[in-house]
Amino acid sequence: MYKRQGPGGTPSSNAAPRRDAPVPALRPGGQVAIVAPASAAEGAAFAAADWLQARGYEARIMPAALTRSEAPFDYLAGDDAARLNDLHAAFADPAIGAVWCLQGGFGSWRIAGKLDVALLRAHPKPFIGYSDITALHLAIQKQAGFVTFHGPMLAQDILAGKAEPTASHVLAMIGGQIGQGAWIEAPPDTYPVALAPGTATGRLVGGNLALIAATIGSRHEIATRDAILFIEDVNEALPRIDRLLSQLRAAGKFDRIKGVLAGNFTRLGLPGGDAMGQSQLFPLLQEHFQARGIPVLAAWPSGHGDPNLTLPLGALVTLDTERRGLRLEQPVAV
Separation of alpha carbons 204 and 315, rounded Å: 6
- Round the CA-based radius of gyration of the chain to a whole number and report it: 19
Specify the amino acid at residue 32.
Answer: V
Rounded to an integer, what distance in angstroms lies between the CA atom of residue 42 and that of residue 305? Answer: 23
Give the C-alpha distances (Å, rounded to integers) separating 218 from 69, 85, 223: 26, 22, 12
> Annotated catalytic, 131?
yes
Handedness of CA 298, 301, 306, 308 (dihedral sign): negative
Q: Please give the helix or strand (H or E) that residue 212 lies within, else none.
A: helix 209-214
Name the active-site residue from 88, 150, 288, 304: 304
Query: Per the residue annotation, which of 39, 131, 220, 302 is the catalytic one?
Result: 131
CA 240 – CA 69 distance, rounded (Å): 30
What angle, 0 to 180 degrees and rounded to 10, lies between the N-to-C axes of helices 238-250 and 273-289?
30
Residue 232 among the catalytic residues: yes
Q: Does residue 123 carry a catalytic annotation?
A: no
* Parallel, antiparallel or unpaired: strands 296-298 and 311-313: unpaired
Choosing from 39, 150, 220, 232, the catalytic residue is: 232
Alpha-carbon distance of 59 to 4, in angstroms, equals 9
Alpha carbon 237 to its chain centroid, in Å, reads: 22
Give the HSE-up count for residue 49: Cα atoms under 13 Å, Cβ half-sphere: 20
- Buried b or exposed e, range 24-40, using 16+ CB within 10 angstroms: bbbeeebbbbbbbbbbb
For residues 316 and 323, give the distance between their C-alpha atoms in angstroms, rounded to a whole number: 17
Cα distance between residue 78 and residue 139, in whole Å? 21
Strands of the sheet containing 227-234, edge to edge, are: 183-185, 325-328, 316-320, 199-208, 227-234, 259-266, 296-298, 193-196
Catalytic annotation, residues = 131, 232, 304
